[in-house]
Chains A and B, each alone.
Chain A
Amino acid sequence: MNAGARFVLEDVRVAYGSCIALDGIDLEIESGEAVALVGPSGAGKTTLLGLLNGTVRPDRGTVAVDEYNLGELSAAALRRVRADIGFIHQDLALVPNVRVLQNVLHGRLGRMSIFDAVRAATFPPRRAVAEVYEILDRVGIGEKLYEPVRRLSGGQRQRVAIARALYQRPCALLADEPVSSVDPARARDSVALLVEICRERQLTLCMSLHNLDLAREFFPRLIGIRAGRIVFDRSSALHDRDFDALYDLCAEEEVS
Chain B
Amino acid sequence: MSERVATGWLPPPPMRVSVRGVIVALLVAAAIVSAIYLHLGPGTLVPGLAGRHAAGEFFVRALSPAAHYESEVMPGTPPLLVTALRAAGMTVVIAASAMSLSLVIGLLLAFAASNAWWIGEPAGAQTLWIRLLRRSVAPAVYAAARVIMALMRSTHELLWAVLFLAAFGLSHTSAVLAIAIPFGGTLGKVFSEMIDEAPRDAAQALRAAGASPLQVFFFGLFPRAFPDLCAYAFYRFECSLRASAVLGFFGFPTLGYYIAASFENLHYGEVWTYLYTLIALVLVVDVWSGGLRRRLMA
Contact = CB atoms under 8 A, between A and B. Distances in A.
Contacts of B297: 97, 150
Interface in A79-125: 79-87, 89, 91-98, 106-112, 114, 117-118, 121
Interface stretch (B58-66, B76-84, B205-213, B265-273): B205-213
Interface stretch (B125-133, B168-176, B234-242, B277-285): B125-133
Nearest to B203: A93
A4 interface: no
Contacts, number: 109
Interface in B68-90: none
Contact of A91 (B124, B201, B214, B224): B201
A87 B124 contact: no
Contacts of A238: none
Interface size, B (range): 20 to 34
B251 interface: no
Interface of A: 53-55, 57, 71-87, 89, 91-98, 106-112, 114, 117-118, 121, 150-151, 164-165, 168
8 tightest CB-CB pairs across the interface, nearest first?
A110-B210, A83-B210, A75-B124, A93-B205, A93-B201, A82-B210, A78-B124, A109-B211
A86 B212 CA distance: 16
B292 interface: no
B219 A57 contact: no
A112 B201 contact: no
Contact of A73 (B125, B202, B223): B125
A82 B209 contact: yes
B215 A117 contact: yes
B209 A87 contact: yes
Contact of A107 (B209, B223, B224, B227): B209
Given A76-B124, A84-B210, 7 more contacts: A74-B124, A75-B126, A78-B124, A83-B209, A89-B205, A94-B202, A106-B209
Contact of A74 (B121, B122, B127, B298): B127
B204 A168 contact: no
Interface in B171-222: 201-202, 204-212, 214-215, 218-220
Given A86-B209, A106-B209, A112 B215 contact: yes
B164 interface: no
B209 A110 contact: yes
Nearest to B209: A110
A241 to B, nearest CB: 36
Interface of B: 121-127, 130, 201-202, 204-212, 214-215, 218-220, 223-224, 226-227, 296-298
Contacts of B201: 89, 91-93
Given A79-B210, A109-B215, A97 B122 contact: no
B207 A55 contact: yes
Chain B facing A: main interface SS: helix
A114 B121 CA distance: 17
B208 A97 contact: no
B190 to A, nearest CB: 19
Contacts of A77: 124
B150 to A, nearest CB: 30
Nearest to B222: A95
B210 A73 contact: no
5 contacts: A71-B125, A83-B209, A107-B209, A114-B215, A165-B209
Contact of A82 (B121, B208, B219, B298): B208
B179 to A, nearest CB: 29
A54 B122 contact: yes
B126 A74 contact: yes
Contacts of A96: 224
Nearest to B200: A93
B205 to A, nearest CB: 4
A106 B222 CA distance: 13
B123 A95 contact: no
Contacts of A93: 201-202, 204-205
B123 A75 contact: yes
Contacts of B223: 95, 97-98
B218 A117 contact: yes
B292 to A, nearest CB: 13
A26 to B, nearest CB: 22
Contacts of B208: 53, 55, 82, 85, 87, 89
Contact of B209 (A73, A78, A94, A168): A168
Contact of B227 (A76, A97, A112, A117): A97
B210 A97 contact: no
A86 B206 CA distance: 10
A95 B227 contact: no
